């Protein structure tokens, strides 16, 4: 009997080289229930057409990646971030998902996209660009700015805590508990969180915070992939298929299930070797690993 893949979602970053229609086709043929989309491929296809492609294939859109990069401190940077995130909110609604994943951005001194660290003019500027406390406050402020717009469009701002390896350059939200604290001022249907095993597996407070996220109704997505060693030269691409690394999927999946999560399980793997592999093979391997390591604990 084939495994039940109805809750399995292919985040299309896992098959980065496929167009949106090709990724949707591969997921549908393999029996997946959903896809998680990225904005670049959505824009390439067009959001309305992307929605139709997914619906015609009989799939759901489990999330759109990504909004965020909210940490600018200058007026132009703030305005640009708000504009871009409003566009992302509209795109999420158009492609038919309520869940827009946010990678909130890192320290101004290091945040990507962008090149090397800038050279600040003064010692005070230098300090400000490394002030993680103030940077986090700006994230909270921007979430507050965007929440009404997201609510109007029926889209949830989904905060993604990233592994602390990315705290300087990508996300000053490093733990699930911190994400929930930032979400707390807002209704659960307006601001939620992702639980991504790659990012949070190491957290000594994980069990309690997953339970809290569930109790608050804020688990917008459960994402699974593995922490592999040695790290890739670009740590961003250092993710592996479930089972190839050190994450305890049995335990974490049970915690997520115990927290009441019944939504899609997205597999999002950034890995050059996997990107260089034929899409159908990747989709098949992901399904096998999901069936072996995750599904029994859902």
Looking at the Cβ atoms of 61 and 109, the one nearer to a second copy is: 109
CA-based max dimension of the chain: 66
Half-sphere CA count of 45, side-chain side, radius 13 A: 24
CA neighbor of 144 nearest in space, from 174, 186, 92:
186
**Pick 67 or 106: Cβ nearer a second copy:** 106
Q: Which residue number, 36 or 161, has a Cβ lying nearer to a second copy? A: 161
Question: Rounded to whole angstroms, what are the CA distances from 184 to 53, 179, 190?
Answer: 35, 9, 10
Least CB distance from residue 110 to a second copy, whole Å? 5
Q: Which helix (H) or strand (E) holds 125?
A: helix 123-129
Q: Whole-number minimum distance, CB 219 to a second copy, in Å?
A: 19
Smallest distance from a second copy to CB 201, Å: 7
| Residue number, 110 or 155, with CB nearest to a second copy | 110
The phi, psi pair for 195, rounded to 5°, reads -105, 105
Q: Please, what is the minimum distance in Å from the beta carbon of residue 194 to a second copy?
A: 17
Q: How far is the CB of 289 from a second copy (least distance, A)?
A: 13
Characterize the bridge pairing of strands 99-103 and 60-68: parallel
Burial class (CB in 10 A: 0-12, 13-18, 19+), 152: exposed
Q: Confirm if 167 and 105 have CB atoms less than 8 A apart.
A: no
| Residue ranges that bind a second copy, judged by CB under 8 A | 107, 109-110, 117, 127, 130-133, 136, 163-165, 167-169, 172-175, 177-178, 181, 201-205, 207, 227, 229, 231, 233, 235, 245-248, 250-251
Considering the complex, state which of residue 93 and residue 180 has its C-beta at the smaller distance from a second copy.
180
């Amino acid at each position: 009997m084939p495994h039940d893949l109805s809750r399995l979602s292919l985040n299309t970053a896992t098959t980065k080289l496929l167009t949106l229609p090709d990724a949707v086709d591969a997921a549908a043929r393999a029996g997946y229930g959903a896809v998680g989309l990225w904005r670049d491929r959505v824009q390439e296809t067009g959001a309305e057409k992307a929605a139709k492609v997914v619906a015609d294939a009989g799939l759901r859109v489990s999330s759109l990646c990504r909004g965020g990069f909210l940490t600018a401190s200058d007026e132009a940077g703030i305005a640009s971030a708000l504009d871009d995130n409003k566009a992302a909110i509209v795109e999420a609604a158009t492609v038919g998902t309520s869940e827009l994943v946010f990678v909130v951005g890192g320290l101004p001194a290091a945040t990507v996209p962008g090149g090397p660290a800038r050279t600040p003019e003064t010692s005070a500027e230098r300090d400000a660009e490394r002030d993680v406390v103030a940077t986090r406050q700006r994230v909270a402020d921007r979430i507050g700015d965007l929440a009404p717009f997201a609510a109007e469009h029926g889209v949830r701002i989904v905060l993604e805590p990233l592994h602390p390896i990315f705290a300087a350059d990508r996300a000053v939200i490093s733990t699930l508990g911190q994400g929930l604290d930032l979400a707390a001022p807002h209704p659960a249907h307006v601001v939620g969180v992702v639980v991504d095993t790659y990012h949070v597996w190491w957290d000594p407070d994980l069990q309690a915070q997953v339970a809290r996220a569930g109790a608050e109704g804020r688990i917008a997505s459960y994402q699974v992939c593995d922490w592999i060693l040695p790290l890739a030269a670009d740590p961003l691409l250092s993710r592996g298929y479930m089972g190839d690394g050190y994450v305890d999927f049995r335990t974490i999946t049970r915690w997520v299930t115990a927290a009441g999560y019944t939504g899609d399980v997205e597999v999002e793997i950034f890995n050059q070797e996997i990107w260089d592999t034929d899409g159908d093979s990747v989709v098949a391997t992901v399904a096998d690993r999901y069936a072996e390591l995750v599904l029994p604990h859902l």
